[in-house]
Each structure stands twice: as structure tokens, then as C-alpha cells.
Amino acid sequence: MKLKHLLLSMLFAMMAVTSTVQASGHDTVDTQPTQVEKAKNNQEYTSKSISQLLESFFQTTGLNAMLHPKEGVKNGQGVEMSLFSQGWGRLIMFIIIFLLFYLAIAKGFEPLLLLPIAFGGLLANIPIANMTGPHGMLGIIYDMGIANEFFPLLIFMGVGAMTDFGPLLSNPKTALLGGAAQFGIFGSLVGAAALSQYTGMVDFTLKQSAAISIIGGADGPTSIFIASALAPELLGAIAVAAYSYMALVPVIQPPIMKALTTEEERRIVMKNTRKVNSLEKLIFPLIVIVMIILILPDAAPLMGSFAFGNFAKESGVVDRLSNEMQNSLINVVTIFLGLGVGSKLASDSFLVAETMGIMVIGLLAFAAGTAAGVLMAKLMNKFSKEPINPLIGAAGVSAVPMAARVVSKVGSEAKPGNILLMHAMGPNVAGVIGSAVAAGVLLSIFK
């Protein structure tokens, strides 16, 4: 049903668009901007005929703005837009946005973020309205919480309040798998640098390469946090890539996992995890903070809000606060974050060669992270006394809890009844810490 509605609405939009394009052929009315400008300069209002009124109204329509792009029109940030991005660029963006709607609604790809992002993109591409400017709705949202990296931190707080570190605490050494998977970040950083150094396709600076490679951390808020700190001009493409690939985890990961493991390895049954003392869970966020204090203060914003959320949850005495973080707060912020990121889907900032580069590098980053996690788990299995199923290494890319679910599914395909979910949750939440640490390292480099 939903699909039908969507297709209908897309068809309708396409029809509207083609009819306007056809109309442009018949449209022989000479637009006379000079006259309008003169009239504007006239302080006093002079009587206008109805045809003049209609004509001057036509000047203010989006139809006119898209059909007759003018030199010197500025976008919300005051940068001049090319003729292409005023006309055809907007059309292409509308099509891309409908594709995102389709993915979010019909395919269920991370709808909670893709839908607001896509709608923000739709609004950002409205001509004349200047939604992304400093006084436009999207511009205000962007300045309020994305330009200063605030919203991703609030999301992290909520994620912290939702995360249960029990599986990690019961089998702590699996945390190292969450570290190995961060190879996706640094491997693709080298990839991005090589792409811009040896091929002429894209020209990323080191900062931009770093911001792109964080997609390999498979963690939406971290990606947005780093992108707005290091390369805000690429934010839209990075966020879209990060969230679409996170949604594609069940498609991207299994082939890599199967290629790198043998049937026997996938059948490995892991020991039951021990019960974790609730005091351990309570103290864990504090240990993380101590580590941040001693080793990596640059990761303090991300890990600090994450640990706060988790501490509030595990303390058990502020359920009201932790429920707020897990539900209402994270929902409100998700709306703002989505719309604000969507403002970067304006045609002039999204339709650039770099976007394709970001999509490719992002995919490589995901694949490399998965592969590194699995290989590390294989290695650990060789040296560990207790058997470790190499599949759980793939959960080391964050993407909580999707990656862990994928691991469990692939595991039970190889051996029905072998439930790896809890074992995979360990590297999975460690992956969140790992990518925040990697983000902190990148931030510290560019200080």
C-alpha cells in the first residue's frame, strides 16, 4: 500500500516537473527584471495593471526561479549559485530525495533519520525561500545544534542510556574486536588520500579525508560530529552515506564474513557468558571517563555524554532522567538533527564530484572494518583458551544493534540453534567506544 502511494506521488511529481519543462518552450513572455527593479526603487506605489501584477508575481514564483536561473543568485550562505544548481540541479535533487523517501518508507532503511534528512533536503531546495539561510528554518536549526556539534552529543547521551554493557563486561577481551574494526576508518583514510593524490577525480584535503573515513566507524552521530568539526561542506553527503550504509549492514556484511571464514569456524559454539554484577555496570562508565581523562581528552564530548547517559541508566535512581534521554530527548533531537543535516542536501552543495567519492570511500570503509574485525577474531580464536567464533568480529563496527543481529543470523545459518547475539553485543558496544576514540584521535591531530 505504502509503496503504491509513494509511486503515485512520485509519478505526480514527475508529471508536474515535465509539464513545467514543456511550458518553458511556450513561455515567450519576456521577463523584464529591469522594470521590476525600477518599480522597487520607486518608493511610492504606482498603479499597476492586472497583467503587470501577474507578471511581477510570476517573477517571485519558484517556477520562474528554476526555469530562468539568473547569474548572481546567492544561496543561504551567501555564496553564488551556478545556473545549473538553480535549475536542473534542483530537479535532480528532488529525484534523489524521492529515492531517499522510497528507501526510508518502502524499504525501511533507517527511516528515523533518512526521512527527516530527506525532508530537510526537500525544503532546502525550495528556490527563493532561502530556508538554509541564517534566518531560514533549516539554517536556524543548523546553527543551533549542528554547526556547534551539539545535537550528535545529545544523541550519544540517549544511546548511552540505551546501551547495556553487560555482554562486554562478562567477556571483556572481545572489546579488542571493536578496536580492530576501526581499521575501516583509518584504512579508508589512506584510501581517500590515495584517491585524491593519484587520480584526478576528487581533490580531498587531509581534513576532508578524515571526515569521510569516519563513515567506517558505522556510527551516525560520530560521523556527523566529526564532519561538522572537520569538513562541514561535506556534511550532507557524509551523513547520507553513513546512514544509508548502516541500513545496508545486512547486505554488505554477510558476503565479507562468509568469504573470510570457513564453514567450521562459523559453527563454533561459544561458552555461555557469566552473570554481571550490577555494581560492575555502574562503575564501567566511570572507568571510561578515567581513561578519557588520562589518555584522550579530545574524545571527552562524545564519551562524556555517552558515559553520562549510561551512568544515569545503571544508577537506577534517576529512571525519569534516563527514560527522558532514551525517548523524548533523543526523538526531539533526531528531528532537529535530520532536518539540519538535510539543509546540506541543497543542490549546490550536494551535486558535486566529491559526493560520489564519499559514497565509494564510505562503502570501502564499511567493508574494511568488517573484514578487519573478522580477521582479528580469527587470530584471537587461535590464541584463546575459550573458542571464539570469528563471526562476532564483524559486529565490531558499531551499527548497534544491527551488526550484532547480522552476526547472529549468519551464525545460526551455519549451525541452527547457535545463538551468537549476546557474544556479538560485546564487540558491538566496544565498537561504539572504539569509533569515539578514533574520532578523538582524528580531532587531536587537526587541533
Partner 1 sequence: MEIDLVGESLKFMVLGMTIVFIFLFVLVQLVKVQAKIINMFFPEKVPSATTPPSSSQESDHVAAIIAAVTEFRKNQ
CB nearer to partner 1: give 63 or 295.
Answer: 295
Closer CB to partner 1, 138 or 437, in the complex? 437
What are the two backbone dihedrals, phi and then psi, of residue 351, each rounded to the nearest 5 degrees? -85, 70
Q: Which of 116/396 has CB closer to partner 1? A: 396
CB contact at 8 A, 430 and 399: no
Residue type, 173: K
Could you tell me the smallest distance in angstroms from the CB atom of residue 34 to partner 1? 48
Task: Output the smallest distance, CB 230 to partner 1, in A.
Answer: 12
Question: Considering the complex, what minimum distance in angstroms separates the CB of residue 19 from partner 1?
Answer: 48
Rounded CA-CA distance 147/269 in Å is 47
- Residue 278 is placed in which grid cell? 550490577
Q: Minimum CB separation from partner 1 for residue 286, in Å?
A: 10
Tell me the per-residue interface mask from 174 to 213 with partner 1, x by CB under 8 A, - otherwise. Answer: -xx-xx--xx-xxx-xx-xxx-xxx-------x--xx---
Considering the complex, state which of residue 164 and residue 280 has its C-beta at the smaller distance from partner 1.
280
Which residues inside 234-293 make contact with partner 1, applying CB under 8 A? Answer: 275-280, 283-284, 287-288, 290-291
* Phi, psi angles (nearest 5°) of residue 281: -65, -35
Residue 134 has a CB neighbour count (10 Å cut-off) of: 12
Q: Taking CB under 8 A as the rule, does residue 387 contact partner 1?
A: no
Contact 224, 243 (CB under 8 A): no
**What are the DSSP calls for 182-236, one per residue?**
THHHHHHHHHHHHHHHH-SS----HHHHHHHHGGGG--HHHHHHHHHHH-GGGHH
**112 or 283: CB nearest partner 1:** 283
In whole angstroms, give the CA distance from residue 282 to residue 169: 11
The phi and psi torsions of 74 (rounded to 5 degrees) equal -105, 150
Cα diameter, the chain: 91
Helix and strand totals (H; E) in the chain: 25, 0
Give the number of residues in contact with partner 1, rule: CB under 8 A: 46
Min separation Cβ 189 and partner 1, Å: 5
| CB-nearer residue toward partner 1: 81 or 226 | 226
Shortest distance, CB of residue 11 to partner 1, whole angstroms? 42
* Closest to partner 1 by CB, 112 or 375: 375
Least CB distance to partner 1 at residue 354 (A): 15
3-class DSSP state for residue 180? helix
Q: Which residues bind partner 1 (CB under 8 A)?
A: 168-169, 172-173, 175-176, 178-179, 182-183, 185-187, 189-190, 192-194, 196-198, 206, 209-210, 275-280, 283-284, 287-288, 290-291, 295-296, 430, 433-434, 437-438, 441-442, 445
